[in-house]
Amino acid sequence: MPTVAIIGRPNVGKSTLFNRLVGRRMALVDDTPGVTRDRRVGHADLAGSGFTVIDTAGLEEADPDTLAGRMRQQTERAVTEADVALLLIDARAGITPLDRAFARWLRRGETPAILVANKCEGRASEGGFYEAYELGLGEPVPISAEHGEGLADLAEALMPHLEAAEAAGAEAGAEAPEPPIQLAVVGRPNVGKSTLVNAFLGEERLLTGPEPGITRDAIAVDWTWAGRRLRLIDTAGLRRRARIEQRLEKISTADTMRAVRLAHVVIMVVEAGAILEKQDLTIARHVIDEGRALVVAVNKWDLVEDHAAALARLRDRLETSLPQVRGIPTVTVSALRGQRLDRLMDAVLRAYDMWNTRVGTGPLNRWLAEMVAAHPPPVVQGRRLKLRYATQVKARPPTFALWTSRPGELPESYLRYLVNGLREAFDLPGVPVRVHLRKGKNPYVEGS
């Protein structure tokens, strides 16, 4: 699919245009300069033409070793990989020296560029619009990303580039791929989530560094492992809710929670030196409550001196604090050194397959009869509860319906007994298993 990169200096409306093109609020938008730091990718449809659009960090002149310099390197890579770049300027603010510098850089490059004058919804923009001709990128396209004005003109300017890219893809014999496995990477700030994703990809795709809270958006990257397509989603670090005060961090946290809801499998990254702190357990419970498959990656394992003691502490914390999900797979890794990543991905794919497990009704009811025979349901008000029938109603996660004589009377402890039995009998360790109780029909009660 053709790729379009949106670039420009900070606060010219790049993320607003990105959201407008993809048709939903994917990228974080705030008045604070420099909200976007990593490349964010989405699917856009404009005037009947589909393409991949990339939101980038604001271009700034900065030393390569600084955070702003690393952000600029990410933007430059996006332009290199794109079929066409949109240089966005703020028509109300007029042309700045930064706009001129980046226009010169684009003219020297090989990627075609279209000049887009944003915020053209009033007379205040006329001066900046006509001034934009001096950038040497042809006639500017006037739009208002916030109000959705001028998109037809933008589509007309993009069309030749999109058609050329589509023709090149057709010649290469591109085929529509299968839907990927959605794999979200979550955890507290500065535990190595972005470093882990970069280690998977084998390139510096995401910004990393000693600065806390670098990642703000949930950034999705397509990837292939062992012949299976995945979409890796790096997320902002999750702190305790009581410590979140700034509006931007609240938006980032909501974006991370949304990524968890849409994921199939979640890798929770924890630090080897602080295994499963209270906030880690809060994150894990949220993942389980959402019904996602969970894999724990213990990062910075190369810095641990007593491996046996650390593993024992990890197992104890999991058993005592997350008893509702037994057998959560845990893998020790070093993201910085790229160690044991193959074992981590093997655990992810196993968790995904188990998350999709379907159990036949026959084997399920034979298992139920054995469970009831081994440990009958309790007696309530002088009558023993009856478990009549079970069936799986859906997968992702495995969800079962159990017909019983009095659903409200079945103790929670007996339900846990059944869930743990399901895990052992049908090989479902670490995956959320849901059992919904339903009342069986009484043939002697009319309308039951």
From first CA to last CA, the distance across the chain in angstroms is: 55
d(C-alpha 190, C-alpha 335), whole Å: 12
Q: How many CB atoms lie within 10 A of CB 90?
A: 20
Domain with CATH 3.40.50.300 in the chain: 3-171, 181-355
pLDDT at position 202, please?
A: 83
Q: Which residues of 42-54 are buried (b: 16+ CB within 10 A; e: fewer)?
A: bebebeeeebbbb
CATH 3.30.300.20 in the chain is located at: 361-439
CA distance 125 to 261: 41
Q: Indicate the pairing of strand 181-187 with strand 113-118.
A: unpaired
User: Cβ(440)–Cβ(388) under 8 Å?
Assistant: yes
DSSP 8-state class, residue 409: G
Q: Which CATH class is domain 181-355?
A: alpha beta
List all residues 6 or more positions away from 49 whose beta carbon is below 8 Å from its beta carbon: 2, 155, 158, 159, 162
CA Rg value for the chain: 27
312: left (phi over 0), alpha (psi -120 to 50) or beta: alpha
Burial level of 104, CB count in 10 A (0-12/13-18/19+)?
exposed
Give the dihedral sign, CA 255/261/265/267.
Answer: positive
Contacts of 194 (CB under 8 A, 6+ apart): 206, 207, 208, 214, 215, 234
Q: Any idea what the Cα angle at residue 442 is, between residues 437 and 448, rounded to 5°?
A: 85
DSSP H helices in 263-323: 278-289, 307-321
Task: Give me the pLDDT at residue 357, please.
Answer: 92
With both helix axes pointing from N to C terminus, report the angle between 247-262 and 278-289 in degrees, rounded to the nearest 10: 50
Residue 306's Cβ-count burial label (10 Å; 0-12, 13-18, 19+) is exposed
Distance CA 58, CA 43 (A): 21
pLDDT for the residue 73: 75
Cα 68 to Cα 40, 72, 102, 422, distances in angstroms: 17, 6, 15, 51
Answer whether 372's CB lies under 8 Å from 387's CB.
yes
Angle 339-255-178 from CA coordinates, rounded to 5°:
65
Distance CA 400, CA 394 (A): 7
Flag whether the pTM goes above 0.75.
no
Q: Residue 407 and residue 386: Cα distance in Å, rounded?
A: 10
Among 3.55.50.30, 1.10.3720.10, 3.50.50.60, 3.40.50.300, what is the CATH number of 3-171? Answer: 3.40.50.300
CA distance 397 to 208: 33
Cis before 397? omega within 30: yes
**pLDDT given at position 448:** 46
Can you give the pLDDT at residue 445?
A: 47
Q: Assign 232 to helix, strand or coil.
A: strand
| Backbone φ and ψ of 436, nearest 5° | -100, 125
Six token digits for residue 358: 């379907």
- In CATH, 361-439 is 3.30.300.20: yes
**124-128: Cβ within 8 A, 24+ apart:** 124/92, 125/91, 125/92, 126/91, 127/94, 128/89, 128/90, 128/91, 128/92, 128/93, 128/94, 128/95
Amino acid sitting at position 336: L
pLDDT tens for the chain, 448 residues long, are: 788 888 888 888 888 888 888 887 765 554 455 555 567 778 888 777 788 888 887 666 666 666 566 667 777 888 888 899 999 999 888 888 888 888 888 888 888 999 999 888 877 788 888 888 888 888 899 999 888 888 888 988 988 888 887 776 655 555 555 678 999 999 888 888 888 988 888 877 665 555 555 555 667 788 888 888 998 888 877 766 655 555 555 667 777 888 888 889 999 999 887 777 888 888 888 999 999 999 999 998 988 888 888 888 888 888 888 876 778 899 999 988 888 999 999 999 999 999 999 999 999 999 999 999 999 998 888 888 888 889 999 998 999 999 988 888 889 999 989 998 998 899 888 888 999 998 866 444 454 4
70 Cα distance to chain centroid: 22
